[in-house]
Amino acid sequence: MTTLAPPAARVTETSATGGGRGGALIWMTVPALVMFTAFAIVPLIGVLVLSFTSWNSIGPIEPTGLDNWASVLTDPGLPHALGVTFMIMGLSWVIQTPMSILLGVFLAAHKRYRGFLAVLFFVPVLLSSTAIAITFKSLLDPNFGVGSSFGIELLRQDWLGSPRLAVGVLIFIVSWQYIPFHSLIYQGAVRAIPPSMYEASLIDGAGRIRQFISITLPQLRYTIITSSTLMVVGSLTLFDLIYVLTVGGPGDATRTLALDMYQTGFSASLMGPASAIAVILVLVGLVLSQILRRLGGRGDESQQEGA
Amino acid sequence: MIGKALSRRHLLGLGVGAGAAAALAACGSSGPGGGGSSVTDGVADYWSLSGPPGEPARKAAIERFNAANPDTKISSLFFKNDAFKQKIKTSIGAGDAPTMIWGWGGGNLKSYVQAGQVEDLTDWFAQNPAVKDKLFPTSFAPATIDGKIWAMPHETVQPILLYWNKKVFEQVGAEPPQSWDDIMALVPKFNAAGIAPFALGGQSRWTNMMWLELLLDRGAGPDVFNRVYAGEANAWSDPAVLDMLGKIQRLIDENGFINGYSSVTADSNADQALLYTGRAAMMVHGSWSYGIQNSQGGDFVKNGGLGYMSFPPIEGGKGDPSNQVGNPGHYLSISTKASPEAKEVAKKFFATTLLDDKEPGEWIKTNNVPIIKGSDSQFGTDPNGQFLKFVYDTSVNAKVFAQSWDQALSPTAAETLLDNIAKLFQKQVSPQQWVDNMNAVIGK
């Protein structure tokens, strides 16, 4: 989203040097721009406007100035929802990233059985979040779930009814669902590393771990940024899984910003405050993705110097 | 050059994202999913909930009307519960509501009334006294706002009852509770036998609310909530409310509810399964639960395993034990945006088909009690008929039949209520905080 502005300047540069080709490029972006404007920019402006009004989705829309913002920003529910969101984001990143990198590296090797495993690993990505949530909900049911049906004491916990366990379960399911996806990204990135680098390091006497730390990880730097951005934005907007699994409960233990927005807007019919929360959600997402981009460097230095 | 390539890729990426968003949006607005009836060009239209037990009975009514009025047919659409709630709100907000707006009365109806979206039916009922006479008088309260009637009560009455598993009671040697003290005495007895005293689908939140409604009514009568409903400041601060919250907390502390109740949902009927499988001894639930247990509990209901009664009185409580809480009826309003012809068709539908001889039978088939007076003559003598007779009598003889709180209050106040009830059952708020939080949304 944030790269919308720069291209204009660069495109003029292209047309100055490359003649008609640059013009064609502009036209190619038109469908995307139209879609983006219609389905992202316009609703976003609508939400921004709504956040300064009072609307119950039935009656008239009335401007209320900064009232919604004052009530949303002073509501203790907001820092709580932000906290829950960041906790889920942080914990799922910490768990998913190392596991995805290791799995990706493992799958990158051209061995037939690994190709077979890769297909199996990928299955959770193909399932819908709602189906996954319903399935896990039944498996973890305190009275009819796996634990009590087979009499396994260890599994017989109040998984979704105790605040800490519920957050843990959420992170587990998110990881289970998305690690295969991120592994796939890493697998591709690892395969793109020139074999000559490994050959050179072998001559210098580097072992497998040394190769992993000194070659693979640095070469995966941009992939890590990409995958982390996807995870961070994904956990910000994570909704369906939580909604089906816990509805933000027990109490408000898993009430993330996205869920808070939904319940304020659609359950409590407070579209104004819900829009304010939505704007906050967008801002948090923008800031986070910018930070991650900065972490990744400017993107114009070569990653394979000396290769 | 790298920078240029990157920005182009970004733009394309945005395009893909936007495309995906459009695809998602298309999914979201996919229509009612094959629920429509054959009539699509009716003079008036009617939207309601799909799925059993209601849909067949509703469809039958529309078909009877259309057969009798081939020139002024009604077209109907049926949606799943949550989809319906969204759809009806959106279409009313867009000024594109169906002629007949189906609902639960109370707080939602009030928001339609305040937005000028539904017709005042007071005069129509005054001109058609026969219509009003045929319906349960208690069913009119949720349709009445500021002294005027805004909806036609129809369909069924659903009080909240106390159910118990007779086999489990026999096994432990216990008698059904006749008072609150009896309930508290039964709790340790069942816990000692390794059976949960009460099943509860706590994640659904309104399930917990049923307990609060009944305890407050039995303790202090309907006045306390009526003051909340009327928007009186600090109405929740009545000492009876703190007393009621204290009772609930004691029941929680003494393990009155099934293990892990806060992750059990009522939508999946898991709470009712706990009762008919004998893992829990008792349950507070709506009268619609009978039909669910009958169809899902195997032979449980057929073999007389299910006991049911009104919630017992509390020692020293001011509430009349005949009082009931629940759904006094379901409601049909007429949109102000409808054409005059459509409005006339809707009124004809109200006055004829919804009160004809066949209407009660369609609902009795679903083990529900129609809100039509005298429909008890159509109940059978089998166990199902006896249950219906019991519900009919308790509903008719109720001194006050109050509407459930989440339906009576505005959507805003109802969400705060359910949120705080969930937190109360999690002990995230104290009874005093609960009262303060609820006072803050009175009249909102």
Q: Quick one: closest CA in B to A243, which residue?
A: B203
CB atoms A300 and B3 under 8 Å:
yes
Pairing outcome for strands B156-165 and B401-403 = unpaired
| Closest C-alpha among A212, A211, A193, A192 to residue A202 | A211
pLDDT at position B99, please?
A: 94
Residues of A in contact with B92 (CB under 8 A): 58
Phi, psi (rounded to 5 degrees) for B366? -95, 15
CB contact under 8 A, B411 and A1: no
A14, A32, A263 member nearest B14 (Cβ): A32
What's the gap in Å between the CA of B415 and the closest CA on chain A? 5
Bridge partners of residue B325, in order along the sequence: B402
Q: Which residue of B has its CA nearest to A31?
A: B15
pLDDT at B64: 94
Measured in Å, how far apart are chain B's first and last C-alpha atoms? 59
The C-alpha atoms of residue B405 and residue B228 are separated, in whole angstroms, by 10
Q: Which pLDDT belongs to residue A305?
A: 52
- pLDDT, one tens digit per residue, over A15-63 is 444 445 566 778 888 999 999 999 999 999 999 999 999 988 888 889 9
Nearest CA in chain A to B94: A58
For residues B96 and B81, what is the distance between their CA atoms, to the nearest angstrom?
A: 19
Q: Is B11 in contact with A29 (Cβ distance < 8 A)?
A: yes
**How many helices and strands (H and E) does chain A possess?**
16, 2
**What's residue A300's pLDDT?**
52
Helix (H), strand (E) counts: chain B: 19, 14
Nearest chain B CA: its distance from A16 CA (Å): 14
Q: Using alpha carbons, select from B210, B228, B214 the residue that is nearest to residue B425.
A: B210
A13 pLDDT band (50/70/90 cuts)?
very low
In this prediction, residue A150 carries a pLDDT of 83
B426 to A10: CB separation less than 8 angstroms, yes or no: no
pLDDT at position B444: 82
- Top residue of A1, A58, A71, A237 to mutate, by most chain B CBs within 10 Å, is A58
A198-257: per-residue pLDDT in tens? 999 999 988 889 999 999 999 999 999 999 999 998 999 899 999 999 988 798 999 999
pLDDT digits (tens, 9 = 90+) for A145-171: 888 888 787 888 888 988 999 999 999
Q: Hey, are the CB atoms on A249 and B22 less than 8 Å from each other?
A: no
> For testing the chain A interface, which of B262, B263, B336 should be mutated: the one with the most A CBs within 10 Å?
B263
What number is the ipTM of this complex? 0.81
Chain A residue nearest residue B118, CA to CA: A58
* Secondary structure of residue A25 in the 3-state scheme: helix
**Model pLDDT, residue A299:** 53
- Cα–Cα dist A288/A279, whole Å: 14
For residue B331, the model assigns a pLDDT of 95
Query: What's the rounded Cα separation, in Å, for the pair B104 and B124?
Result: 20
Of A46-55, A79-88, A297-306, B362-371, the range with the lowest mean pLDDT is A297-306
Report the SS3 class of residue B16. helix
The verdict on a CB contact (< 8 Å) between B426 and A250 is yes
Pairwise CA distance, residues B319 & B301, whole Å = 31
The 10s digit of each residue's pLDDT in A204-221 is: 988 889 999 999 999 999
Q: Can you list the residues of chain B whose pLDDT is less than 70? A: 1-40
Which conformational region is residue A144 in: left (phi greater than 0), alpha (psi within -120 to 50 degrees), or beta? alpha
pLDDT value at residue B41: 74
Chain B nearest-CA residue for A255? B419
How far A106 CA lies from chain B's nearest CA (Å)? 28
How many Å apart are CA B164 and CA B308, to the nearest integer? 6
With CB atoms and an 8 Å threshold, state whether A35 touches B423: no
Could you say which of A35, A144, A268 has the minimum Cβ distance to residue B18? A35
Residues in chain A, total = 307
Alpha carbon distance B106, A10 (integer Å): 60
Are A3 and B11 an interchain contact pair (Cβ–Cβ within 8 Å)?
A: yes
Partner-chain contact B263 A300, CB within 8 Å: no
Contacts of B444 in chain A (CB under 8 A): none
Reported as a pLDDT band with limits 50, 70 and 90, residue A267 is confident
Of the candidates B259, B273, B423, the beta carbon closest to that of A251 is on: B423
Check residue B81 and give its pLDDT: 79
Cβ proximity of B32 and B77 under 8 Å = yes
From the list B2, B412, B428, which residue is nearest A300 (CB)? B2
The amino acid at residue A237 is T
pLDDT on residue A21: 58
For the whole model, what pTM was predicted?
A: 0.84
What are the chain A neighbours of B270 within 8 Å (beta carbons)?
Answer: 141, 143-144
Q: How far is A105 from chain B (nearest CA, A)?
A: 26
Contact: B21, A247; criterion CB under 8 Å:
no
| Smallest Cα distance from A76 to chain B, Å | 12
| CB distance B19 to B35 below 8 Å | no
Is the pLDDT confidence value at A187 over 60?
yes
With an 8 Å Cβ cutoff, are B262 and A159 in contact?
A: no
Is A2's pLDDT higher than 80?
A: no
The predicted pLDDT at position A301 comes to 53
Residues of B in contact with A163 (CB under 8 A): 426
N- to C-terminal Cα separation, chain A: 33
Q: How close B392 comes to chain A (CA, Å)?
A: 32
Distance from CA of B376 to the nearest CA of A (A): 37
What span, in angstroms and rounded, lies between the C-alpha atoms of A45 and B227? 41
Contacts 24+ apart (CB under 8 A), B171-176: B172/B281, B174/B281, B176/B307, B176/B309
Neighbour tally for B321: CB within 10 Å: 15
Greatest Cα pair distance, chain A, in angstroms, is 75
Please check whether residue A281 is in contact with residue A257, taking contact to mean a CB–CB distance below 8 angstroms: yes
Measured distance CA(A293)–CA(A270) in Å, rounded: 35
What's the rounded Cα separation, in Å, for the pair A138 and A136? 5
Q: Which residue of A has its CA nearest to B22?
A: A39
B335 DSSP assignment:
B
In terms of Cβ atoms closer than 10 Å to its own Cβ (0-12, 13-18, 19+), residue B422 is: buried
CA angle (B156 as vertex; B151, B159 as ends), nearest 5: 110
- In chain A, which residues have their Cβ closer than 8 Å to the Cβ of B279? 143
Residue in chain A closest to B259 (alpha carbons) equals A142
Amino acid at residue number A35: M
